[in-house]
């Protein structure tokens, strides 16, 4: 009896897949070279691609289930030959933010011969009403905004392509988008949660009702300026000082990064002045006598906090300035009715082609040394991965001989792994009737060869096994 508990479904081949008549294997930009039965099971575990119907003659904003935003200018999608497109378009979006997602989409975190740590991967595509593949128009781009927990680690954008074996390589490194997307400023600046910062950046014409304000004026006068961007809002809610707000207002004709550098200079001077004030104004002791130890400790604490806060603001705005963000791109308009909140950090990219897009930083570990690591399975495993426990790092095994898979390379390519770190090898395959699964936790570098026993598993059981990699 077939133990695959998932029903056999008629599934359309997405993204230009090509079937081979002899091996029941497809080459597919979405999944790579995996048997179709296995792809069917992975799709049912990971969920269907999200689909959005849009009118190409209008600007469109699409928000994915996991927070990815696509901002699509009007008439920015065409037929492959460049001809103008009329009628309804279907945008397909797949968001991959967890190790479980990476496994079920046959993804790895590799840039040529370097290991990456991912902060999120997406795949997006477009089809017309007859399911024909479409392209992004020449001289046009679609803004992609991928949610991030933070923007530390200096993440980069990579575009992915699958090699002849179907494994993904994040081959092309791209610059994040530098231009800014305007939001309706009243929507953007209305406080969504309790904060010491005033709504609408403290810009007001009612100075009686709003006694604590930063600038006298009408907030709507700043529509379609850098103040009407999420990037400036992030700055404001970090340090909502009157002096800082006014630096930006007085320099709206400049690039955002240029004003950021001016704010760095302001905070350097402000920090120096504050520290010098506390150094030169030491409170006297009681009744003109010597200071008590409690007074000395309190003064040292105040001085320390002044130094630390000064360094924090300086480094924060140096980081902002390093992003080199420029000015408003008025060709891209966001539909705020599609947005539930603006609380998450975003990294942006202007895509000129459909396909895979990834946010990563380069994985670096001082314990990484040349390591040979091979997995041997008792059955063929078209999908086999090495997962770094606790990190969003995943490597695909390359078959060198029957049921023998290498995770590193001898000379060319990546061959360094963090020796002594815990990792997990997962193998997934098919027999004639069953799904097969094997899993083994290892210490990297302890053994050169790891034996992985694969056994029959139902589709539902496989789903449960992979759910622990869902965070």
DSSP 237-250: TT---HHHHHHHHT
170 and 50 housed in the same domain = yes
163 and 212 housed in the same domain = no
pLDDT at 4: 37
User: For residues 251 and 257, what is the distance between their CA atoms, to the nearest angstrom?
Assistant: 11
pLDDT at 3: 37
pLDDT at 470: 85
User: For residues 13 and 30, what is the distance between their CA atoms, to the nearest angstrom?
Assistant: 10
Q: Contact 157/173 with Cβ under 8 angstroms? A: yes
Burial class (CB in 10 A: 0-12, 13-18, 19+), 37: middle
pLDDT at 6: 34
* Residue 226, domain member (yes or no): yes
pLDDT digits (tens, 9 = 90+) for 301-331: 999 999 999 999 999 999 999 999 999 998 8
pLDDT at 221: 96
358 and 446 housed in the same domain = no
More confident residue, 28 or 139: 139
* Residue 328, domain member (yes or no): no
pLDDT at 18 > cutoff 50:
no
Q: What is the mean pLDDT of residues 284-309?
A: 92
pLDDT digits (tens, 9 = 90+) for 347-396: 999 999 999 999 999 998 888 999 999 999 999 999 999 999 999 999 99
pLDDT at 278: 93
pLDDT at 150: 72
pLDDT at 438 > cutoff 80:
yes
* Residue 245, domain member (yes or no): yes
209 and 308 housed in the same domain = yes
pLDDT at 300 > cutoff 90:
yes
pLDDT at 91 > cutoff 80:
yes
pLDDT at 164: 82
User: For residues 332 and 427, what is the distance between their CA atoms, to the nearest angstrom?
Assistant: 44
pLDDT at 17 > cutoff 70:
no
Q: Name the band, by pLDDT with cuts 50, 70 and 90, for residue 10.
A: very low
The order of strands in the sheet holding 34-35 is: 18-19, 25-27, 34-35
pLDDT at 8 > cutoff 60:
no
pLDDT at 357: 97
pLDDT at 113: 86
* Residue 43, domain member (yes or no): yes
Q: What is the mean pLDDT of residues 12-41?
A: 60
Q: What is the mean pLDDT of residues 25-49?
A: 79
50 and 174 housed in the same domain = yes
pLDDT at 181 > cutoff 90:
yes
User: For residues 60 and 73, what is the distance between their CA atoms, to the nearest angstrom?
Assistant: 6
E runs forming strands in 163-233: 168-174, 203-204, 215-216
E runs forming strands in 128-167: 135-136, 142-148, 156-162
pLDDT at 192: 64
pLDDT at 24 > cutoff 50:
no
User: For residues 422 and 286, what is the distance between their CA atoms, to the nearest angstrom?
Assistant: 60
* Residue 9, domain member (yes or no): no
152 and 257 housed in the same domain = no
**Mean pLDDT, the chain, as a whole number?**
89
pLDDT at 171 > cutoff 80:
yes
| CA-to-CA separations, 320 to 149, 187, 266, 450, 464, in angstroms, rounded | 16, 23, 14, 45, 42
pLDDT digits (tens, 9 = 90+) for 111-120: 988 999 999 9
User: For residues 43 and 28, what is the distance between their CA atoms, to the nearest angstrom?
Assistant: 13
Closest CA to 283 of 295, 273, 272, 275: 295
Q: Name the band, by pLDDT with cuts 50, 70 and 90, for residue 183.
A: very high
pLDDT at 23 > cutoff 90:
no
131 and 145 housed in the same domain = yes
pLDDT at 318: 96
User: For residues 394 and 168, what is the distance between their CA atoms, to the nearest angstrom?
Assistant: 11
pLDDT at 20: 38
CATH code, domain carrying 412: 2.60.40
Helices and strands (H and E) in the chain: how many: 8, 29
Q: What is the mean pLDDT of residues 57-80?
A: 95
pLDDT at 413 > cutoff 80:
no
pLDDT > 90 in the chain, percent: 72
Q: What is the pTM of this model?
A: 0.84
pLDDT at 11: 30
Boundary (domain end) residue, out of 290, 322, 354: 322
CATH code, domain carrying 348: 2.60.220
Q: What is the mean pLDDT of residues 92-117?
A: 94
pLDDT at 412: 62
Number of domains in the chain: 3
More confident residue, 212 or 181: 181
- Please, where are the H alpha helices in 118-241? 185-189, 230-236
pLDDT digits (tens, 9 = 90+) for 239-281: 999 999 999 999 999 999 999 999 999 999 999 999 999 999 9
Task: Determine the structural domain holding residue 382 and report its residue range.
Answer: 368-467
193 and 174 housed in the same domain = no
Please compute, for residue 358, the number of CA atoms within 13 A of its CA located in the half-sphere on the CB side: 27
């Amino acid at each position: 009896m077939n133990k695959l508990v998932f029903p056999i479904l008629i599934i359309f081949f997405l993204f230009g897949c090509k079937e081979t008549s002899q091996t029941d294997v497809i080459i597919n930009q979405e999944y790579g070279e995996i048997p179709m039965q296995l792809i069917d099971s992975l799709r049912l575990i990971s969920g269907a691609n999200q689909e959005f119907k849009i009118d190409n003659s209008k600007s469109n904003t699409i928000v994915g289930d996991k927070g990815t935003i696509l901002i699509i200018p009007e008439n920015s999608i065409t037929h492959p030959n460049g001809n103008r497109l009329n009628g309804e378009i279907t945008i397909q979006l797949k968001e991959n933010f967890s190790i479980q997602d990476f496994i079920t989409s046959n993804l790895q975190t590799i840039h040529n011969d370097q290991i990456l740590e991912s902060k999120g991967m997406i795949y997006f595509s477009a089809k017309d009403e007859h399911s024909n593949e479409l392209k992004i128009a020449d001289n046009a781009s679609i803004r992609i905004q991928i949610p991030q927990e933070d923007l530390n680690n200096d993440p980069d954008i990579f575009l992915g392509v699958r090699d002849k074996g179907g494994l993904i390589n994040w081959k092309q490194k791209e610059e994040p988008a530098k231009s800014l997307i305007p939001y309706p400023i009243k929507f953007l600046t209305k406080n969504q949660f309790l904060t010491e910062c005033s709504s609408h950046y403290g810009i007001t014409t009612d100075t009686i009702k709003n006694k604590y304000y930063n600038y006298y004026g009408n907030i709507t006068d700043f529509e379609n300026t850098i103040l009407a961007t999420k990037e400036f809002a992030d700055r404001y809610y970090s340090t909502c000082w009157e002096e800082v707000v006014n630096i930006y207002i007085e320099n709206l004709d400049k690039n955002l990064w240029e004003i950021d550098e001016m704010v760095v200079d302001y905070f350097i001077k402000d920090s120096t002045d504050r520290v010098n004030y506390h150094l030169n104004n030491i409170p006297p002791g009681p009744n003109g006598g010597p200071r008590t130890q409690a007074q000395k400790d309190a003064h040292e604490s105040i001085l320390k906090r002044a130094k630390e806060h000064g360094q924090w603001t300086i480094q924060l705005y140096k980081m902002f300035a390093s992003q080199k963000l420029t000015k408003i791109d008025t060709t891209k308009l966001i539909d705020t009715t599609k947005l539930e909140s603006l609380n998450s950090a975003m990294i942006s990219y202007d895509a000129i082609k459909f396909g895979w897009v990834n946010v990563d930083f380069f994985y670096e570990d001082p314990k990484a040394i040349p390591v040979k690591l091979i997995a041997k399975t008792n059955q063929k495993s078209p999908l086999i991965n090495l997962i770094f426990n606790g990190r969003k790092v995943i490597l695909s095994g390359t078959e060198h001989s029957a049921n023998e898979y290498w995770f590193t390379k001898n000379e060319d390519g990546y061959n360094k792994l963090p020796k002594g770190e815990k990792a997990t090898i997962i193998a997934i395959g098919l027999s004639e009737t069953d799904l097969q699964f094997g899993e083994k936790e290892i210490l990297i570098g302890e053994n050169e060869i790891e034996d992985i026993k694969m056994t029959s598993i139902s589709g539902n059981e496989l789903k449960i096994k992979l759910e622990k990699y869902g965070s």
